Amino acid sequence: MAEREQEQNRTEQPTPFKLKEARDRGTVAKSMELTSVLVLFAFIGLLYVAGRSLLDRQLHLDAALLSQAHQLGFSESAATRWLSGALLDTLGLLAPVFLVLVGAAILAVLVQTGPVFSFFPLKPDFDRINPASGLKRLLSPRLAFEAVKSLLKLALFGYAVYAIIEGLLPALLALAQIHPGAYARIGLDTVGALLFKLALVMLVVALLDAGYVRWDFMRRMMMSRRELREEHKRREGDPKVRERMRALHREMRKRAGALKRVPEADVLITNPQHLAVALLYRREDMLAPQVIAKGAGELAQHMKQLARRHGVPVVENRPLARELYRDARLEGAVPQPTYPAVARVLAWAYTLRELRRGAAA
C-alpha cells in the first residue's frame, strides 16, 4: 500500500541527476526487440552483398571435401588433420558473418543507449529471488504488455508466413524444370526475400516495443516532491548545515583578518596557553575598549608571537581572558562587568609602554 501510494505521488519529471545516476547503475531504456531486428537486417544485408560469394565458397569447400573422401584414412592423426582443416575452412567462411552480427548488435545497443559501462548489474540482488517482488512483477504492466506483444507477433508472423508461402508456391513448383545446380542460388534469394519480409513485420513490433520501453523507463524514473527535495539536499547539502558552514567560514575569515590588527593593540590578555584577546582603546573615538582580535589554541599562540614581535604588552589573566573570549563580540566593546579589570590591565600596559619609551630615549 505504501509503495503504491508513493508511486502515485510521483508526479514530477526525473531530473538529469537522477537519470545520470540510473545510467551509472546500468539502468537505461533498451529494447531487445529493436536490437534483434537491427541484427536481422544486418544479416539480410550481408546475404544480399556477399551471400552468393559465401555460398560459392561453401559449395567449393563441400565439393573438395567430398572429392577427397575416398582418400581419408581412419587413423587418429589422419582424421584429426582432416577434421581440423575442415573446421578452419568453415570458420574462415563464418567469421565475417559472426563479425557483422556482433558489430550490428553492439551498434544497435549504442544507438539506443549510447556508451554505458557499469559493473552495478553484476552485484548480487536478493530482491530478484524475493517471492513478494516476483509476484509484483507478475502483476506489472510490463508483463501485460509482453503478453499482448507476443500475441501480436504470433498473428503478424502467421499472416506473413502464410502470404509468403502462398506467393512462393508457383516458384517451388517450377523448380522441377530447373537444373539442380541452380537450386542453391534460388534458395538463397528465396530465403533472403523471406527474411526481409519477416524483418519488416518484426520492425513494426520492435518500434512499438521501443516506444513502450522508453515510456515505461521514464514512468519508473518519475519523482515525488519529497524525492526532489532529498536529491537537492544530497547534491547541495542540508540548508541548515550549509548555513552553519558559511557562518563558520565567515567567522574564521573575520578572525584571520583580525590577526592583522594585533600589532595595533594596546594589550594582549592570555589564558595563558589556550586563549588570547587583543584590546584597543582610543579615548577620543571609543566609549569603551574594543576587542579587535581573539583566538584559541594555535591561533592564540600565533597572536602572542605577533604581539611580542611588535612590542604589544602581553598580560596573563585567566578569568578576564575567559570572560572576554566568551562574552565579548569581535570588533565590539568589552562587557560592562569587565570594566574595572580591563582598566587595571590597560593602566599597567600604558605604564609599561611609557617605561619602554623612557628606556629607549
Q: How many CA atoms lie within 13 A of 147 on its CB side?
A: 7
Q: How many CA atoms lie within 13 A of 132 on its CB side?
A: 3
Q: Cβ–Cβ contacts within 10 Å for residue 74, how many?
A: 6
Query: Is 329:289 a contact under the CB 8 Å cutoff?
Result: no
Q: Nearest CA to 231 among 10, 17, 19?
A: 17
**Cα–Cα distance list, 119 to 96, 109, 116, 217, 250 (Å):** 30, 17, 10, 20, 43
Looking at residue 2, its pLDDT comes to 42
User: What are the grid coordinates assigned to 59, written together?
Assistant: 559449395
Can you tell me the distance from the alpha carbon of 342 to that of 277, in angstroms, rounded to the nearest whole number? Answer: 11
Q: Looking at residue 177, what DSSP letter applies?
A: G
Can you tell me the distance from the alpha carbon of 335 to that of 295, in angstroms, rounded to the nearest whole number? Answer: 17
Q: Cβ–Cβ contacts within 10 Å for residue 181, how many?
A: 8
User: What are the grid coordinates assigned to 48, written together?
Assistant: 544480399
Domain ranges of the chain: 2-234, 258-360
Looking at residue 269, its pLDDT comes to 92
The per-residue pLDDT string of the chain (361 residues; one tens digit each, 9 = 90 and over) reads: 444 545 557 777 887 878 887 777 777 888 888 888 888 888 888 888 887 777 777 777 777 777 776 666 666 776 777 777 778 878 888 888 889 889 888 888 888 877 776 656 566 655 556 666 556 656 667 777 777 878 887 887 788 777 777 777 776 666 666 666 666 666 677 777 778 888 888 888 888 888 888 888 888 888 888 888 777 776 666 667 677 777 777 777 766 666 788 888 889 999 877 889 999 988 888 888 999 888 888 888 888 888 888 888 999 989 999 999 888 888 889 999 999 998 999 989 888 888 877 666 5
Query: Is 237:272 a contact under the CB 8 Å cutoff?
Result: no
Can you tell me the distance from the alpha carbon of 294 to that of 303, in angstroms, rounded to the nearest whole number? Answer: 8
Beta bridge partners of 223: 12
Q: Nearest CA to 252 among 316, 299, 186, 189?
A: 299
Looking at residue 114, its pLDDT comes to 76
Q: How many CA atoms lie within 13 A of 325 on its CB side?
A: 21
Query: Is 308:263 a contact under the CB 8 Å cutoff?
Result: no
Q: Nearest CA to 283 among 219, 350, 212?
A: 350
Quote the pTM value.
0.51
Can you tell me the distance from the alpha carbon of 108 to that of 47, in angstroms, rounded to the nearest whole number? Answer: 19
User: What are the grid coordinates assigned to 88, written together?
Assistant: 578452419
Scan for cell 567449393, then name that residue: 60
Q: Cβ–Cβ contacts within 10 Å for residue 338, how many?
A: 20
Report CA dihedral (3, 226, 27, 1) to the nearest 10 degrees.
Answer: 0
Assess if CATH 3.40.1690.10 describes domain 258-360. yes
Can you tell me the distance from the alpha carbon of 227 to that of 225, in angstroms, rounded to the nearest whole number? Answer: 5
User: What are the grid coordinates assigned to 308, written together?
Assistant: 611580542
Q: How far apart are the first and last CA of the chain?
A: 91
Looking at residue 271, its pLDDT comes to 84
Can you tell me the distance from the alpha carbon of 16 to that of 88, in angstroms, rounded to the nearest whole number? Answer: 50
By DSSP bridging, strand 314-316 and strand 267-270 are parallel
Does an H or E element contain 196, and which? helix 183-221
**Burial class, 55, CB count within 10 angstroms (exposed 0-12 / middle 13-18 / buried 19+):** middle
Query: Is 178:186 a contact under the CB 8 Å cutoff?
Result: yes
Looking at residue 1, its pLDDT comes to 42
16-24 helix and 183-221 helix, angle to the nearest 10 degrees: 130
